[in-house]
């Protein structure tokens, strides 16, 4: 049995980038247990002054595109350029089949060994099953640990892109070179979220195909309103494995952040994200209160049952129930 950590132990450990304590702090904010939640909330309050200073980078792409490999290579590159790097992975697959996908490299062993890197592998339970996601809170803990870049890997399917886009400053889309009809395979939504596109796995053998992909992507981008005015979304040719295109990516990210800082959209985006999160948590807490309130419990179950038995409209049942909730 290890000794239970005090609030101060957590704070000290986080601030000295103690990887073991960082890991424990993240486990704490992920926990659903009320006694953990209370100390987690206190911890998040205490570290607030030390958060907000990192660059939060989301990385998306289909499974197998090379996201984890990219993060490992790019992370090392950034460290060589004076950054401290934290990595968070969002991998709901672990909760679905306890396995990983397509030669997954979530462990990023080489990067993990670096004293200036902190890697938090997939959460033990996915959030796509309706469990609230706490990646943002994990990110704050990393920021308080003094990490300059927080890299967040999405799983590339479902809602994970939107969730990551809602907590990051830069969204990088990793694209693999495909055959002719590849543009059809790209979800429009992802193109609209992307701030940078990295065409991965480019080699001398497929260079001409890669260039064609770039031309097609560049054309497609003309029909998309970028998130940021005056920003031309770069399409970078590279290889995560061969470590090509990393310097260009690094420079473009820095350019993008300084553009956003200068024109005020950096802070504006963060404020909008915070509002969204606030509303998300209001919904979460109301639902939780509704489920746990003994006086209302029967009523909650009854309305839910009515809806599930198709006796009435789910939205009317919800509306009736919420009226009761606020009358109390």
Ligand X SMILES: Nc1nc2c(ncn2[C@@H]2O[C@H](COP(=O)(O)OP(=O)(O)O)[C@@H](O)[C@H]2O)c(=O)[nH]1
Residues that bind Mg ion (CB under 5 A): 67-68, 104
Asked if residue 198 lies in contact with residue 173, where contact means CB atoms within 8 angstroms, the answer is yes
Task: Pick the closer one to ligand X by CB: 47 or 152.
Answer: 152
Per CB under 6 A, does 76 bind ligand X?
no
Partner that binds at residue 239, options ligand X, Mg ion, none, CB closer than 5 to 8 Å by kind: ligand X
Structure tokens given for 37: 């939640």
Per CB under 6 A, does 178 bind ligand X?
no
Alpha carbons 177 and 250: distance in angstroms, whole number: 21
For ligand X, which residue of 23, 63, 121, 146 counts as binding (CB under 6 A)? 63
Per CB under 6 A, does 265 bind ligand X?
no
Alpha carbons 186 and 30: distance in angstroms, whole number: 32
Which one of 41-49, 57-65, 302-310, 316-324 is the stretch in contact with ligand X (CB under 6 A)?
57-65
Per CB under 6 A, does 239 bind ligand X?
yes
Task: Pick the closer one to ligand X by CB: 91 or 317.
Answer: 91
Partner that binds at residue 123, options Mg ion, ligand X, none, CB closer than 5 to 8 Å by kind: none
Q: Give CA separation, 134 vs 76, 167, 177, in Å.
A: 26, 11, 33
Per CB under 6 A, does 102 bind ligand X?
yes
Partner that binds at residue 103, options Mg ion, ligand X, none, CB closer than 5 to 8 Å by kind: ligand X
Shortest spacing between CB 157 and Mg ion, in angstroms: 12
For ligand X, which residue of 85, 199, 240, 290 counts as binding (CB under 6 A)? 240
Shortest spacing between CB 100 and Mg ion, in angstroms: 8
Per CB under 6 A, does 65 bind ligand X?
yes
Task: Pick the closer one to ligand X by CB: 21 or 199.
Answer: 199
Which residue has the closest beta carbon to ligand X? 66
Q: What is the CA 138 to chain-centroid distance, rounded?
A: 10
Which one of 59-67, 158-166, 208-216, 305-313 is the stretch in contact with ligand X (CB under 6 A)?
59-67
Q: What is the CA 120 to chain-centroid distance, rounded?
A: 12
Shortest spacing between CB 160 and ligand X, in angstroms: 12
Per CB under 6 A, does 190 bind ligand X?
no
Helix (H, G, I), strand (E, B) or coil at 237: strand
Partner that binds at residue 210, options Mg ion, ligand X, none, CB closer than 5 to 8 Å by kind: none
Per CB under 6 A, does 23 bind ligand X?
no
Per CB under 6 A, does 176 bind ligand X?
no
Q: 30-50: buried (b, 16+ CB within 10 Å) or exposed (e) per residue? A: beeeeeeeebbeebbeebeeb
Task: Pick the closer one to ligand X by CB: 13 or 61.
Answer: 61
> Who's near 105: CB < 8 A, 6+ residues apart?
68, 69, 72
Partner that binds at residue 64, options Mg ion, ligand X, none, CB closer than 5 to 8 Å by kind: ligand X
Alpha carbons 266 and 56: distance in angstroms, whole number: 11
Shortest spacing between CB 322 and ligand X, in angstroms: 41
Alpha helices by DSSP H, the chain: 7-15, 19-30, 34-47, 67-80, 93-97, 109-113, 135-144, 160-165, 182-185, 188-193, 207-221, 246-263, 265-292, 294-308, 314-327
Radius of gyration of the chain (CA): 22
Task: Pick the closer one to Mg ion by CB: 17 or 93.
Answer: 93
Other beta carbons within 10 Å of 56:
23
Interacting residues toward ligand X by CB under 6 A: 61, 63-69, 101-105, 200-201, 239-242
């Amino acid at each position: 049995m290890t000794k239970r950590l005090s609030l101060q132990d957590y704070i000290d450990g986080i601030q000295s980038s103690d990887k073991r304590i960082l890991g424990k702090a993240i486990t704490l904010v992920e926990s659903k247990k009320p006694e953990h939640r209370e100390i987690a909330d206190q911890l998040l309050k205490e570290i607030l002054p030390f958060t907000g200073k990192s660059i939060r980078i989301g990385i998306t792409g289909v499974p197998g595109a090379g996201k984890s490999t990219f993060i490992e290579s790019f992370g090392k590159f950034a460290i060589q350029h004076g950054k401290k790097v934290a990595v968070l992975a969002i991998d709901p697959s672990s909760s679905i089949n306890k396995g990983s996908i397509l030669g997954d490299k979530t462990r990023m062993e080489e990067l993990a060994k670096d004293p200036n890197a902190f890697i938090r592998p997939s959460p033990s339970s996915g959030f796509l099953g309706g469990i609230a996601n706490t990646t943002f809170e994990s990110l704050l803990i990393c920021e308080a640990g003094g990490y300059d870049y927080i890299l967040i890997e999405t799983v590339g399917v479902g809602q994970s892109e939107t969730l990551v886009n809602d907590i990051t400053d830069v969204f990088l889309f990793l694209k693999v070179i495909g055959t002719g009809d590849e543009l059809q395979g790209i979800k429009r939504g992802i193109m609209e979220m992307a701030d940078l596109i990295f065409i991965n796995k480019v080699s001398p053998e497929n260079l001409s195909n890669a260039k064609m992909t770039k031309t097609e992507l560049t054309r497609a981008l003309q029909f998309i309103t970028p998130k940021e005015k005056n920003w031309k979304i770069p399409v970078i040719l590279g290889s995560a494995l061969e470590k090509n295109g990393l310097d260009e990516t690094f420079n473009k990210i820095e350019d993008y952040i300084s553009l956003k800082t200068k024109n005020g959209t950096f802070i504006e985006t963060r404020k909008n994200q915070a509002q969204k999160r606030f509303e998300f948590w209001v919904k979460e807490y109301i639902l939780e209160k509704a489920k746990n309130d003994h006086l209302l419990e029967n009523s909650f179950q009854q309305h839910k049952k009515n809806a599930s038995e198709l006796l009435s409209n789910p939205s009317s049942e919800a509306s009736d129930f919420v009226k009761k909730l606020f009358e109390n």
